[in-house]
Amino acid sequence: MLDALQRPLESLRVSVTDRCNLRCAYCMPEEEYHWLPRTHLLSYEEIARLAAAFRDLGVRRLRLTGGEPLLRRNLAGLVELLDFEDLALTTNGVLLAAQARELREAGLHRVTVSLDTLRPDRFRELARRDSLEQVLEGIAAARREFGGLKLDTVVMRGVNEDELAELLAFARSMNAELRFIEYMDVGGATRWSPERVLSRTEILERVGPAEPLPGRGSAPAERFALADGQVFGIVASTTAPFCADCDRARLTADGRLFTCLYATRGTDLRQPLRSGESREQLVERLRTVWGARSDRGAEERTALRRRGSFVSLEELRQNPHLEMHTRGG
């Protein structure tokens, strides 16, 4: 199944909730948000039915995300219903220690935890909650249950740019592969400015000599090895986007399909699902949407001469589907 730019549909990110127990400055800088109505949230059975239709079309990798996915009750119950070659979870880790074992037993393959700092005061400032200790416990639990994990760090100039070496050392001690993520101007990042971005080039300069590793494929991260063999990644969505290889679709918790992180319009799948469409009909619907896809949002953003936040706070208030925490990062 190829889109209009000949890109296959191979991975799906499913947001299971738009709610979150942190307020990261780059994602949810406000305290209050307009949440999706509860009656609109897909049940686990509904998510599983849609996921199966995506699988019929060629999706091999599924990632659960949010908002904070572990806020949704009994997430392991959803994991049990999903059958994919690669089944992963992205979480802020706050609630992971209590759930890691049941998630693995339910069939989850891998976990990525977002970790931007190891300093409690900085964490409090950046995420506006005092939860670093729970996150670290969650990371330790993921290591125990899954043997290792990935860690995602959004690098912001003037915020955590001085912690790259410490984060790498921590990742090594946890058998984790760390990925540095450039600060993106996605919906929700209303405080974004180009000056705040630490680019891929600057990250590499700070980390020290590193060899690029081959075989990236459609993965967002370029991987590198340090002289001591430690492998890390960089996701350079802001300065060196990878839209040409993007094989990812996104499903919101209320059943809307987005074909790009920057897409302003999605396709409602909840209504057809709830009106009883068959799996074949749903597959046809997905085929039509993906076949017409020509998004290359990050590349278009990079080409802009003057660049600020993608969406204003006003627009976000009117259309929460534009928020990164709604469409699933």
Contacts with ligand SAM by CB under 6 A lie at 20, 26-27, 65-66, 68, 90-92, 114, 152, 154, 181, 183-184, 186, 189, 324-325, 329
Give the Å distances, CA to CA, from 178 to 96, 154, 243: 18, 11, 22
Q: What does 91 interact with, of ligand SAM, ligand SF4, none (CB < 5 to 8 A by kind)?
A: ligand SAM
Q: What phi and psi, each to the nearest 5 degrees, are found at residue 155?
A: -95, 125
The verdict on 296 binding ligand SF4 (CB under 6 A) reads yes
CB of 186 to ligand SF4, least distance (A): 9
* φ/ψ (deg, to 5) at 64: -90, 135
By CB under 6 A, the residues from 207 to 226 that bind ligand SF4 are none
Smallest gap from residue 278 Cβ to ligand SF4 (A): 29
Residue 246 interacting with ligand SF4 (CB under 6 A) = yes
Is 241 a binder of ligand SF4 (CB under 6 A)? Answer: yes
**From candidates 104, 150, 248, 327, binder to ligand SF4 by CB under 6 A:** 248
- Site map (CB under 6 A) of ligand SF4, residues 107-146, x = contact: -------x--------------------------------
- For residue 72, state whether it binds ligand SF4 (rule: CB under 6 A): no
For residue 323, the Cα-to-chain-centroid distance in whole angstroms is 12
Nearer to ligand SAM, 251 or 286 (CB): 251
Per partner kind, with CB cut-offs from 5 to 8 A, the member of ligand SF4, ligand SAM, none near residue 33 is none
Q: Does the protein bind ligand SF4 through residue 238 (CB under 6 A)?
A: no
Which of ligand SF4, ligand SAM, none interacts with 261 (beta carbon under 5 to 8 A by kind)?
Answer: ligand SF4
Angle at which helices 44-56 and 279-291 pack, to 10 degrees? 60
Contacts 24+ apart (CB under 8 A), 163-166: 163/117, 163/118, 163/119, 163/122, 164/203, 164/206, 164/207, 165/206, 165/207, 166/118
197 binds ligand SF4 (CB under 6 A): no
Q: Which residues contact 207 (CB under 8 A, 6 or more apart)?
A: 164, 165, 168, 224, 226, 232
Show the site string, 251-280: x = touches ligand SF4 by CB under 6 A, - = not.
---------xxx------------------
Q: Which is nearer to ligand SF4, 6 or 275 (CB)?
A: 6
Out of 97, 174, 298, 311, the only residue in the binding site for ligand SF4 (CB under 6 A) is: 298
Binders of ligand SF4 among residues 145 to 184 (CB under 6 A) are none
Cα–Cα distance measured from residue 140 to residue 113, given in angstroms and rounded to the nearest whole number: 11
Burial of 114 (0-12, 13-18, 19+ CB in 10 A): buried
- For 286, residues 6+ apart whose C-beta sits below 8 A from its C-beta are 9, 53, 54, 57, 257
**Nearest to ligand SF4 of 191, 279 (CB atom):** 191
- In sequence order, the 6+-apart residues with CB closer than 8 A to the CB of 189 are 26, 27, 29, 183, 309, 310, 324
Q: Tell me how far apart the alpha carbons of residues 114 and 179 are, in angstroms, rounded to a whole number.
A: 9
Q: Read off the amino acid at residue 82.
A: L
Which of these segments, 51-59, 160-168, 236-244, 270-278, binds ligand SF4 (CB under 6 A)? 236-244
